[in-house]
Amino acid sequence: MNKKIPVIIWGATGFTGGELLRIIARHPYMEVVGAVSRSKAGNPIGATHPHLRFAYPNTNFISPDEGGEINADLVFLALPHKAAAEMAKKRLSAGQKVVDLSADFRLKDQEQYRRWYETEHPCPELLGESVYGLPELHRSEIAGARLISGVGCNATSAIFALLPIAKAGLIENARIECRVGSSEGGAEAKEGSLHALRSRSLRMVSPFLHRHMAEVIQELSLPEEAMSMAVTAVELVRGIQCIAHVTLKKKLREADIWKLFRSQWANEPFVSISPAKPAHFRIPDPKFVLGSNRVLTGFALAEDGKRAIMASAIDNLIKGAAGSAIQSANIMFGVEETAGLEMMPLYPA
């Protein structure tokens, strides 16, 4: 490809916006032609994202009005839900392809959106055409799409933990627990993100029915009554560890689960299998994927062969947001799926 794909990022001052800027700064086929902000228009990108000062030495944020005038081929929306859907509609009608990171286009059913997000969907007419932006599930549909939905970071971790046994129809019930870092809450200061209050506490948010469960149910075709999902804020900035306690429909051996995992993940460029045994592996820990688009997924089977722990670890800002968004955009534009995303995890971090 001779010319780089011109990209504009809306919500570029936020955490996922910053992560998009960081990854695209070294992307071989994309270049940022606009980083939109309502609050920081006219200010240098490096003032808000100091780690990017050298990558964007002469670039300022632009206003939404300026953003609307730019002729980009690809738009990433790193906005809160509802604001994202409204902007998606405008950008699509301007002929741009849209990858939205918010929750607005994840659920296919407008009623489910109303139920889980407790608000009306601003443009339900687009729900039918949006594609859930997890390439490991929807690679071929993503290729032909003009609107990709973001993925819930906790939902992504749960999907990676459960997909092989869900596809095999083996889940009797699953109790999902995600342990998450503070960046999941975004860059805006809130009571739950204040260091003095959040640090060293273990706060469970949305016990039992976390809203990301709606995506897990939809994407894995699991019955709601067999599921629960809770999220606990732990002492991390980035990262999610998902632990799902599963009762299986039939007795399995470890070799059976290995077989399912291998057939599911063998050709996936970003997924590694990390079960509890043998000892040189261990149950997925986000410390080993931070800063990367990688996923660890693994399991432990109880002696009875009927109870299992299915687990995964991701970096919420990358595989759970900006990384999956860029991976999907790579597929949409027909470039290598892994372009820009082959960075190694940081360790220790």
Ligand X SMILES: NC(=O)c1ccc[n+]([C@@H]2O[C@H](COP(=O)([O-])OP(=O)(O)OC[C@H]3O[C@@H](n4cnc5c(N)ncnc54)[C@H](OP(=O)(O)O)[C@@H]3O)[C@@H](O)[C@H]2O)c1
Note the residues at the interface with ligand X (CB under 6 A). 11, 13-17, 37-40, 78-81, 83-84, 101-103, 150, 153, 183-184, 186-188, 316-317, 320-321
108 or 245, CB closer to ligand X?
108
Task: Provide the minimum distance between the beta carbon of 160 and ligand X in the complex, in angstroms, as a whole number.
Answer: 14
Q: From start to end of the chain, where are the E strands?
A: 5-10, 30-36, 74-77, 97-100, 131-132, 147-149, 171-180, 203-205, 227-233, 240-248, 271-273, 295-301, 307-314
Q: Which is nearer to ligand X, 101 or 217 (CB)?
A: 101
Residue nearest to ligand X as judged by C-beta position: 14
Question: Smallest Cα–Cα separation from 310: which of 181, 212, 201, 164?
Answer: 164
CB of 9 to ligand X, least distance (A): 10
Instruction: Write down the least CB distance from residue 38 to ligand X, Å.
Output: 3
Q: Would you say 293 and 153 are in contact if contact means Cβ atoms under 8 Å apart?
A: no
| Amino acid identity for residue 29 in this structure | Y
Kindly tell me which of 67 and 340 has the beta carbon lying closer to ligand X. Answer: 67
**Catalytic residue ranges:** 153
Cα 180 from Cα 337, distance rounded (Å): 27
Q: 339: which residues sit within 8 A by CB, 6+ positions away? A: 27, 28, 29, 330
In the complex, minimum distance from the CB of residue 238 to ligand X, in angstroms, rounded to a whole number = 8
Beta bridge partners of 272: 296
Edge-to-edge, what's the strand order for the sheet holding 131-132? 30-36, 5-10, 74-77, 97-100, 147-149, 131-132
Please provide the size of the chain in residues. 349
Residue nearer to ligand X on the CB measure, 105 or 261: 105
| CA-derived radius of gyration, the chain | 20
How far CA 190 is from CA of 88, 130, 142, 197, in Å, comes to 26, 31, 35, 10
348 Ramachandran zone, left/alpha/beta (phi>0; psi -120 to 50): beta
Minimum Å distance from CB 321 to ligand X? 4
Report the residue number, 17 or 298, with the smaller CB distance to ligand X.
17
Burial class (CB within 10 angstroms; exposed 0-12, middle 13-18, buried 19+) of 224:
exposed
* Cα dihedral: 231, 86, 27, 54 (round 10): -90
Least separation in angstroms between residue 34's CB and ligand X is 13
The nearest distance, CB 36 to ligand X, in angstroms, is 7
Minimum CB distance to ligand X smaller for 73 or for 315: 315
Contact 160, 314 (CB under 8 A): yes
Please answer whether residues 88 and 122 qualify as being in contact, where contact means their C-beta atoms are separated by less than 8 angstroms: no
| Amino acid occupying residue 49 | H
Q: Which CB atom, from 230 or from 301, has the smaller least distance to ligand X?
A: 230
